[in-house]
Amino acid sequence: MSIFRRRRSGQDTPAPAPAWHPDGPAHEPGPPPQQHARMEPQVIELNAAELAWLDELRAALPGGDVPRGPEEVGELYDGLFDAWHSAPQSEQGDPNAVINALGVAVGDAVVARVPGARWAAVSDEHGTELAIVASSAEAPTMFPTAAVAKRWVERERGWVAEYIGWISDRFTQIASEPSEQSQELASFALGHAVHSIVPEGGPLIPFCLVESAEGRALHRFAGELGQAVENAREFARGSGAVRAAVAWDGYLTVDGQRGDALFVEASDAGQPSIILAHRYQETPAGTHTVGEPMLVDRGAPVL
């Protein structure tokens, strides 16, 4: 169910909601969906009128605009659901307003539980829909009003609290997983580290590999190992890059055996990191790797 169509920011009032539909976003009038050109969804920040409309919907709920946890939102939904469905059909009226308001309550409960989640508009070839999005590109997009509308028409109650918990956990789980791009950068950096000491030998000079719109750039940091690694991390934090990796030479214990290993920690800006390692051994015949690269930990953002 689409609760608004995108408006110019200069408009003072929101467009009226179209007739609601239980199966999700309403389509704009025009050719059948299969005739639409494929369009990647675009996230659009809400303008002042849309934000004000959200506040109006919150204030319209029983109890007004107050923070509500999942259980409270569930009780609110069940109460309004029971009242509307038990009323004579002639007195039910259009459920659009209450569905919109409940959708906002459900979305607000998710935003309160997921760091970085926010309200936005998501637009594709079918139209524009109010949604909950997060900073991570891999995070799901949630359409809370469509979720409420679908279950309202299917006469489903008692689902809200569990749904809020499930979708919040899904946001959090994906947000905590390093992106494919940061994983690829970590693998690339680890491969570069390996080629730097195999077969000639080490130790590795710590380096920082930063990635921006212009491409990748590698910077080495000589000196005492601990300080050199800290210098590499400090460089990454101040680089303004979209993602970065820091590599160093250290020790790794596997099955009780402590040995030399190359480490790389990489992340997108502001996102959790991935830490990879590849063991190596120095012999009279030269340096060679031991085993395969391995994931050893997750950490805080590199930058």
Residues 100 and 60 in one domain: yes
Residue 39 — very low, low, confident or very high, per pLDDT cuts 50/70/90?
low
Residues 120 and 238 in one domain: no
Residue 277 — very low, low, confident or very high, per pLDDT cuts 50/70/90?
very high
Residues 157 and 85 in one domain: yes
pLDDT at 169 exceeding the cut of 50: yes
Residue 137's pLDDT is: 61
Any idea which of 5-14, 84-93, 252-261 has the lowest mean pLDDT?
5-14
Is residue 68, in this structure, part of any structural domain at all? yes
Residues 131 and 249 in one domain: no
* This prediction's pTM: 0.55
Give me the amino acid identity at 214. Answer: E
pLDDT tens-digit profile of 94-122?
899 999 999 999 999 999 998 788 999 99
Is residue 126, in this structure, part of any structural domain at all? yes
Is residue 10, in this structure, part of any structural domain at all? no
Residues 197 and 287 in one domain: yes
pLDDT at 46 exceeding the cut of 80: yes
Residue 255's pLDDT is: 87
Residues 151 and 41 in one domain: yes
Is residue 7, in this structure, part of any structural domain at all? no
pLDDT at 148 exceeding the cut of 50: yes
Contact 25, 1 (CB under 8 A): yes
Structure-block tokens of residue 300: 């805080």
Residue 27's pLDDT is: 32
- Number of domains observed in the structure of the chain: 2
Q: Which of 150, 175, 200 is the last residue of a domain?
A: 175
Residues 220 and 134 in one domain: no
Residue 17's pLDDT is: 36
Q: Which of 140, 157, 175 is the last residue of a domain?
A: 175
Structural domain span for residue 251 = 180-299
CA 198 to chain centre: 38
Residue 217 — very low, low, confident or very high, per pLDDT cuts 50/70/90?
very high
Residues 105 and 168 in one domain: yes
Residues 166 and 211 in one domain: no
Distance between CA atoms of 185 and 265, rounded to whole angstroms? 10
Is residue 16, in this structure, part of any structural domain at all? no
pLDDT at 31 exceeding the cut of 50: no
Residues 197 and 161 in one domain: no
Given the structure tokens 């063991």, which residue do they identify?
Answer: 279
Residues 165 and 247 in one domain: no
> Quick one: average pLDDT of 209-220?
95
Is residue 12, in this structure, part of any structural domain at all? no
Residue 22's pLDDT is: 32
Any idea which of 26-30, 58-62, 128-132, 138-142 has the lowest mean pLDDT?
26-30
CA 282 to chain centre: 42
Is residue 24, in this structure, part of any structural domain at all? no
CATH of residue 71: 1.20.120
Residues 145 and 194 in one domain: no
Distance between CA atoms of 26 and 278, rounded to whole angstroms? 51
pLDDT at 187 exceeding the cut of 70: yes
pLDDT at 250 exceeding the cut of 90: yes
Q: Which of 127, 148, 175 is the last residue of a domain?
A: 175
